[in-house]
Amino acid sequence: MEQRLTMRSEEETIEFAQNLESEKFPNMVICLNGELGSGKTIFTKGFAGALGIEENITSPTFNIIKEYDGELPLYHMDVYRLDGHTEGVGIEEYFTKGGVVIIEWANTIQDILPPERLDIKFKVAGENSRILIVTPHGQKYEELCEDVL
């Protein structure tokens, strides 16, 4: 049930993230993929803001995982630098910690992702425009998409 959405500004991407956040649930996993500068971190900022997180959200490129306290804990990951080598990092532990996990460059760790999750691929379609390809995996995520999209 893949869906394509067009975002014409950062504000629209933030609004989309806020709409998804309104349907959040513990152990939610959102996997973001797309080239550098395509809007993955903007999406995360919008989601975090809706969770009530006031800290500045930046891509955790060097930390791999940043944890934030909000209505639910937010675990923001950027796994690009891991190049698929996840041994000893403990990423899988976060999938069941009761928070929301948002993973940038999730395609690089495909083999350890939970089978139920929401995949969002960001494609640059112009200076400010992005096409988001949203693919739910599992019933909870299909219902989420039905409610929000």
Asked whether residue 134 carries a pLDDT value surpassing 90, the answer given is yes
Q: Which two tokens stand for residue 19?
A: 């709409």
What pLDDT is stored for residue 71 in this prediction? 95
Are 34 and 123 in contact by the 8 Å Cβ rule? The answer is: yes
Show the domains of the chain with their CATH numbers: 3-148 (3.40.50.300)
Q: Is the pLDDT of residue 92 over 90?
A: yes
pLDDT band at 85 (very low <50, low <70, confident <90, very high): confident
Q: Quick one: pLDDT band at residue 82, thresholds 50, 70, 90? A: confident
For the record, the structure tokens of 34 come out as 């797309």
Instruction: Name which of 107, 75, 119 is nearest 94 in CA terms.
Output: 75
Q: Residue 6: in which H helix or E strand, if any?
A: strand 3-7
pLDDT at 63: 80
Q: Quick one: pLDDT at residue 61? A: 67
Q: Go through 56-79 and write b for each residue having 16 or more CB atoms within 10 A of its CB, e for each that does not.
A: ebebbeeebbbebebebbbbbbbb
pLDDT 10s digits, 27-69 = 999 999 999 989 999 999 999 999 999 999 987 667 889 999 9
